[in-house]
């Protein structure tokens, strides 16, 4: 019998061994998905284990009063989760602020994690879990703690209501959990197909995993102990082998893999008896030692990897050092933070809960405040206007405002007699913040009216939003009615994406016709605007980087950033980009030679390009400039065209 490390009433060393398998698979997967594509399923195994363990812990609580019953439960969970989490969040905040200039999303994730809602925050921010940029958020993995903590808010109260405190009343909680489990799995199955971020982050799609762990303790373990063929050593070993096989499956089989691994983990927890090979493997000293430290290891491994991705990179050379760092911080977290608090003598329940909430509030304030201290130690690439986070007062996305409200999109300048209209897709919006400052400098009123993935003008066709063409027609009518002599109209689209490549799968002939229809409609609008005395600017988008593993700022040289990281940043040949653009739009040569039209070619002005090679260091994502460089480019363009635009 293994020594009970925390005096748990029904301690099972094999469950800690299963924790070890889960955390090892997760860590390997996070080092490299290619090594263990399905290793992320370890989190699903954690959910099952959590459901089992918290249900077993309910039996030792005060059953005379719901206040004491719930209070004791939450006090235990707080001692188990918060000390190590607070330590991790507070220390990691310093490191991420040193190596990253943009920390708002990261620090807010950390702050929300202290209250168990980082999963909700990440979902609301549309942070795709599998996106390459998400790997730079050192608190991304706390989404799973959020799911568990939200489950902890619901399950104990549900257990009390269903009479769990009376030993003979397990039937009601078992039936209730089974029904909720079926409903939750239906939500998981449905959202996995149509809303994968919801299925990833949110409790309704994860409730079934934790509740199966609860059912393993309430019902399945007792039933399976009486079924020798089902619980034979061979059957248990086969289940373990199947779990390991699922860890090797690629992510495209996610729905099958998650469903299977949760069922198999539930079976293992329910069926394993203190005999046989499976128990001896899982309950070995090595596996138990890792399992006991699995929470601290899970917390710290991702933070270490996130910082490594921004500094030394993850390579054969750095992996041994990273593993050593993880081992050291896990040791200190477990032995000097996690363990002392779990063994700490019990105090009065509700004062302890209030104290914990107060500490979380103070720490969240600290985490958010530290981002404003200017700890970033890379080259300062900001302009004052963007560093101070100037925001455009009016975000006039055509899909969020009615055409009757377009006039309200004009940001008036009392000194101005002219207006600059910035229209198009998101490539026009990237300059909106800079316009707030520059409009004052040049005594201009301005308006930015744009559509997500929707160019101006939009020819009839397929776009992410079916209203694209009609909405941009409304923008055209707005311009016709409001533009006056000497106003400036800047048309900024991602021509190589929004227009040309959107229908690339439909064949070259159809794409050619679409491009001609767009060019004809654009020229028609420009002719009318020109006749009204407007000054026209046509923006030609810079190169597109199809494979960006890092945001642009992470591709800038810094004393702490290794060449390995910089080598992973993509580069594109400018000549190839221009050739492709001119092949897609033969009209471009005519536009460039039109004296009444200013063609704005940022890449030809060598912004982000040296000779013929362009890098992604000034980009925010695959095809938009960062705020700092958007400001610099617009500022330089207006300065260079001051005479032509009568500024």
Look at residue 60 and tell me if it is in a domain.
yes
Residues 114 and 192 in one domain: yes
Co-location of 246 and 184 in the same domain: yes
CA distances from 253 to 37, 114, 193, 194, 447 (A): 10, 33, 12, 15, 47
pTM of the model: 0.82
Report yes or no on 17 lying in a domain.
yes
Tell whether 226 is covered by a domain.
Answer: yes
- On whether residue 379 sits in a domain, the answer given is no
545: helix, strand or coil:
coil
Give a yes or no: residue 75 inside a domain. Answer: yes
Main-chain dihedrals φ then ψ at residue 493, nearest 5 degrees: -130, 160
DSSP string, 439-478: HHHTT-EEEEEE-TT--SSPPSS--SSTTHHHHHHHHHHH
What is the C-alpha to C-alpha distance for residues 101 and 382, in angstroms, rounded to an integer?
9
278 shares a domain with 417: no
Axis-axis angle for helices 42-58, 143-161 (nearest 10): 30
Which portions of the chain are predicted below pLDDT 70? 1-10, 165-169, 223-231, 345-350, 378-394, 460-465, 496-508, 606
Say whether both 128 and 162 belong to one domain. yes
CB 129 within 8 A of CB 201: yes
State residue 504's pLDDT score.
Answer: 46
- The per-residue pLDDT for 213 is 95
| Judgement on whether residues 513 and 365 belong to the same structural domain of the protein | no
pLDDT of residue 9: 60
The last residue of one of the domains, among 341, 370, 399, is: 370
For residue 120, give Cα distances in angstroms to 112, 201, 356. Answer: 9, 7, 21
DSSP string, 235-277: HHHHHHHHHHHHTTS-GGGHHHHHHHHHHHHHHHHHH--SSHH
How many Cβ atoms sit within 10 Å of the Cβ of residue 440?
13
| Chosen domain end from 370, 403, 434 | 370
Asked if 115 and 152 sit in the same domain, the reply is yes
Q: Which domain holds residue 519?
A: 384-545+574-606+627-640
Residues 277 and 170 both lie in one domain: yes
Is 410 a member of any domain? yes
Residue 195, SS3 per DSSP: coil
**Which CATH number goes with the domain that contains 506?**
3.40.50
Backbone angles phi, psi at 299, to 5 degrees: -60, -50
Residue 534 CA, chain-centre distance (Å), reads: 42
Distance CA 204, CA 147 (A): 9
Same domain, 330 and 441: no
> Do 331 and 422 lie in a common domain?
no
Domains: count for the chain: 2
- Nearest CA to 538 out of 499, 481, 571, 485 is that of 499
Q: What's the pLDDT score for residue 138? A: 96
- Tens-digit pLDDT profile for residues 90-134: 999 999 999 988 889 999 999 999 999 999 999 998 778 888 788
- In this prediction, residue 227 carries a pLDDT of 64
Pairing of strands 419-424, 445-450: parallel
The three-point CA angle 394-440-537 to 5° equals 75
282 and 14 in contact (C-beta within 8 Å)? yes
Contact 30, 322 (CB under 8 A): no
Do the domain assignments include residue 58? yes
Among candidate residues 348, 370, 392, the one where a domain is terminated? 370
**Do 253 and 359 share a domain, yes or no?**
yes
Task: Say which residue the tokens 């998101």 belong to.
Answer: 426
CA distance 121 to 144: 12
Same domain, yes or no, for 438 and 476? yes
Is residue 621 assigned to a domain? no
**Is there a single domain that holds both residue 589 and residue 518?**
yes
């Amino acid at each position: 019998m293994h020594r009970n490390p925390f005096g748990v009433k029904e301690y099972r060393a094999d469950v800690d061994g299963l924790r070890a398998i889960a955390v090892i698979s997760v860590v390997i997967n996070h080092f490299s998905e290619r090594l263990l594509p399905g290793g992320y399923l370890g989190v699903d195994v954690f959910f099952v284990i959590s459901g089992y363990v918290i249900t077993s812990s309910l039996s030792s609580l005060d059953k005379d009063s719901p206040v004491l019953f719930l209070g004791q439960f939450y006090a235990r969970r707080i001692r188990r989760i918060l000390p190590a989490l607070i330590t991790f969040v507070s220390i990691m905040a310093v490191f991420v602020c040193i190596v990253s200039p943009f920390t708002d999303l990261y620090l807010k994730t950390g702050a929300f994690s202290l209250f168990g809602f980082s999963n909700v925050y990440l979902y609301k921010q549309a942070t795709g879990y599998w996106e390459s940029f998400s790997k730079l958020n050192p608190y991304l993995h706390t989404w799973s703690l959020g799911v568990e903590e939200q489950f902890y808010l619901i399950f104990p109260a549900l257990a009390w209501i269903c009479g769990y405190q009376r030993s003979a009343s397990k039937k009601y909680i078992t039936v209730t959990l089974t029904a909720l489990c079926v409903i939750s799995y239906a939500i998981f199955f449905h959202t996995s197909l149509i809303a994968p971020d919801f299925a990833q982050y949110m409790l309704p799609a994860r409730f079934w995993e934790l509740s199966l762990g609860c059912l393993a303790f309430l019902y399945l373990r007792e039933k399976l102990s009486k079924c020798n063929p089902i619980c034979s050593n061979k059957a248990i070993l086969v289940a373990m082998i199947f779990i390991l096989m699922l860890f090797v499956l690629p992510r495209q089989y996610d729905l099958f893999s998650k469903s299977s691994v949760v069922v198999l983990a539930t079976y293992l927890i329910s069926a394993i008896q203190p005999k046989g090979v499976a128990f001896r493997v899982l309950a070995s000293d090595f596996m138990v030692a890792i399992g006991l430290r699995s929470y601290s290891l899970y917390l710290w491994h991702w933070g270490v990897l996130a910082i490594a991705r921004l500094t030394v990179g993850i390579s054969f050379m750095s992996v041994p050092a990273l593993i050593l760092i993880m081992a050291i911080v896990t040791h200190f977290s477990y032995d000097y933070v996690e363990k002392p608090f779990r063994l700490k003598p019990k105090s009065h329940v509700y004062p302890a809960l209030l104290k914990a909430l107060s500490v979380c509030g103070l720490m969240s304030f600290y985490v958010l405040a530290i981002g404003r201290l200017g700890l970033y130690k890379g080259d300062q690439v900001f302009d004052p206007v963007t560093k101070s986070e100037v925001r455009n007062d009016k975000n006039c996305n055509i899909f969020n405002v009615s055409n009757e409200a377009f006039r309200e999109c004009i940001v008036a300048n009392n000194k101005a007699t002219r207006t600059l209209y910035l229209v198009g897709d998101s490539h026009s919006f990237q300059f909106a913040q800079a316009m707030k400052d520059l409009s004052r400098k040049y005594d201009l009123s301005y308006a930015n009216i744009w559509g997500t993935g929707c160019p101006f003008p939009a020819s009839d066709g397929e776009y992410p939003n079916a209203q694209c063409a009609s909405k941009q027609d409304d923008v055209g009518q707005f311009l016709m009615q409001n533009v006056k002599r000497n106003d400036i109209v800047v048309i900024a689209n991602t021509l190589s994406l929004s227009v040309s490549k959107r229908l690339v799968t439909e064949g070259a002939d159809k794409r050619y016709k679409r491009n001609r229809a767009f060019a004809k409609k654009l020229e028609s609008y420009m002719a009318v605007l020109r006749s009204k005395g407007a000054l026209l600017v046509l923006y030609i988008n810079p190169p597109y980087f199809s494979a960006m593993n890092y945001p642009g700022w992470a591709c800038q040289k810094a004393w702490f950033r290794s060449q390995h990281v910089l080598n992973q940043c993509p580069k594109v040949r400018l000549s190839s980009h221009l050739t492709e653009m001119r092949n897609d739009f033969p009209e471009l040569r005519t536009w460039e030679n039109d004296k009444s039209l200013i063609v704005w070619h940022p890449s030809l002005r060598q912004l982000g390009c040296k000779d013929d090679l362009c890098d992604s260091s000034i980009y925010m994502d695959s095809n938009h400039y960062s705020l700092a460089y958007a400001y610099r480019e617009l500022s330089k363009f207006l300065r260079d065209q001051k005479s032509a635009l009568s500024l």
